[in-house]
Structure 1
Amino acid sequence: MELQDVVASYQPQLFALAYRMTGEVAVSEDIVQESLVNWVTVPHEDVQHPQAYLAKMVINRSLNHLAAVKRQREAYRGTWLPEPVVNQEFRQIEARIDVSYGFMLLLEKLTPTERAVFLLKESFDVEYAELAGLLELTEANSRQLYHRAKEKLAGAKKRFPLDPKQQQALQHAFLMASHTGDINPFVQLLKEDIVVYSDGGGKVTAALNPVMGISHVTAFLSGLARKSWPIRDWQFVTVNGGVGALLFNKETGALDSVMAVDLDGDQISAVYIVRNPDKLPTIPGAEPTRNQQQA
């Protein structure tokens, strides 16, 4: 199989695999690129399943990366959120592959090996015997790890396509809050057990712990609507497959934050705000436009 055929056939799934393992965009792109380069440089004439072969390389590189950043992740200040994937077509992630923040945070409950087993089984339908070979496990152990992962992810909700009316309502609520300070349209969309996660990485202002419950979240968002949102330009985009926005500093034009929401039915179950400047450079170079603010 020629390289161009491998790239066309497998790159989107391989990127999604690396991203769901690491939660880092540039790292995932590097992992996939290294794996594809390795495909060219090593004999593979006898490889019967190129997808599984490449997936093994991606998984191994991802596990090595997670081992290298383990202490850094453990010492992370505040809530650690994955780097945002803005506009999925840019990263060529298939729509059926869930990279929502809700699912990504659930994956964080798994050990790296559990995550590898679960993703290989779910994304590539790898048999237990093959999983054992790929990850140097026994077949019984691979089966056990998969079932353990499934139990830990039992709370995962199926993601449904966003209704255009829902998207319009969300954007209207955001704009009302940012332009007038009135967050009531936004609050009306929130679930009672809403959670807001904010990631500043200890480098910019952010809530160190998740803000939970509608009363606390309302107070938190009221503060943002008064102090922060009016001095930001908004650009609505797709973030990790759902509704999101880029927030730009009005004075400098620099990207300040990325916001994403998870929906449960027609209500918002979680809001994610990524402010750590180290996690923003991978965002496609979108510039704020005045007409989008008035939409």
Structure 2
Amino acid sequence: MLVLLDQLSPVERAVFVLREAFTYNYESIAGVLEKSEVNCRKIYSRAKRKLKNDLAVHPENTEHVDFLAKTFIEVSMTGNFDEMINALAEDVVLVTDGGGNVPSALYPIVNKKRVFAFIKGVTAKASFVGELLPVMVNGQTGILQIKDGQPIRVVSLELDSERNNMRSIYIVSNPEKLTHISVP
């Protein structure tokens, strides 16, 4: 949800959170934000539409998404990064979630060069040691990392369907968020 909310402007985010999370009425939201009630309704409507349009659906080009997942797995296991750089979009974004329990990047990593350097760096530190399995994650192809029979990381890949490369990479290592995952 945080990744989705990050796509909204600060005002859209405020209206959306006040309305959805705190169930404020439009009159109260308008008072807090010093905007008209009608304007707040429109901002909320626009924010919902933005979020709805970006919710994950099953990938259209599943063969290519599977190829990208297998490329990620191969790079993680072999350290051969030649194919990886070509699989990233120029404006790729990598978001990690360690939940304060495991080391992770504090801020999203943006652009091909920085994401590539991050993946290369964590691979060099043996962060992807264990069994790596291609899985479906929220309607997207992803990778489940298992170590000592326990899930320790889930990587979700979002495809840029126009350019057939990775637009977003989400890495969840927070143990609290992995408790519901059953190991195949």
TM-score range, shorter chain: 0.7 to 0.9
1:171-219: CA deviations, max 9, x gaps? 3212221221112222211111111111112211111122121111111
- What are the residue-to-residue correspondences of 1:179-190 with 2, within 5 Å? 179-190=77-88
Q: Within 2, Cα distance between the matches of 1:158 and 1:276?
A: 22
Judge conservation of contact 2:70–2:134 (CA < 8 Å) in 1: no
Q: Within 1, Cα distance between the matches of 2:49 and 2:122?
A: 32
Cα 1:277/1:159, change in 2 over 3 Å: closer
Match of 1:89 in 2: none
After TM superposition, what 4+ stretches of structure 1 lie above 4 angstroms from structure 2? 134-138, 151-160
Overall identity of the aligned pairs, in %: 27
Cα 1:219/1:153, change in 2 over 3 Å: farther
Larger fraction in strand: 2
Q: 1:147 aligns with which of 42, 45, 62?
A: 42
Judge conservation of contact 1:203–1:276 (CA < 8 Å) in 2: yes
Report the 3-state secondary structure (helix = DSSP H, G, I; strand = E; otherwise coil) of the residue aligned with 1:188: helix
Match of 2:119 in 1: 221
Q: Please, what TM-score do these two structures have when normalized by structure 2? A: 0.74
1:245-273: CA deviations, max 9, x gaps? 11111xx2211111112222212111111
Match of 2:158 in 1: 262
Q: Within 1, Cα distance between the matches of 2:24 and 2:71?
A: 47
Report the 3-state secondary structure (helix = DSSP H, G, I; strand = E; otherwise coil) of the residue aligned with 2:142: strand
Q: Does 1:277 align with 2:182?
A: no
Judge conservation of contact 1:183–1:225 (CA < 8 Å) in 2: no
Report the 3-state secondary structure (helix = DSSP H, G, I; strand = E; otherwise coil) of the residue aligned with 1:215: helix
Q: 2:102 aligns with which of 204, 214, 218?
A: 204
Judge conservation of contact 1:182–1:225 (CA < 8 Å) in 2: no
- What are the residue-to-residue correspondences of 1:1-295 with 2, within 5 Å? 23=1, 103=4, 105-106=6-7, 110-111=13-14, 112-115=17-20, 136-137=25-26, 141=37, 143-149=38-44, 150=46, 161-249=59-147, 252-265=148-161, 266-283=164-181, 285-287=182-184
Larger fraction in helix: 1
Cα 1:276/1:187, change in 2 over 3 Å: same
1:126-154: CA deviations, max 9, x gaps? xxxxxxxx96546x83x533421316975
Give the CA deviation at 1:105: 4.4
Give the CA deviation at 1:159: 6.0
Gaps of 5+ in 2: 28-35
> What RMSD, in angstroms, separates the aligned Cα atoms of the two structures?
3.1
Q: Which amino acid aligns with 1:222?
A: K
| Paired residues, number | 167
Cα 1:158/1:206, change in 2 over 3 Å: closer
Q: Within 2, Cα distance between the matches of 1:218 and 1:144?
A: 42
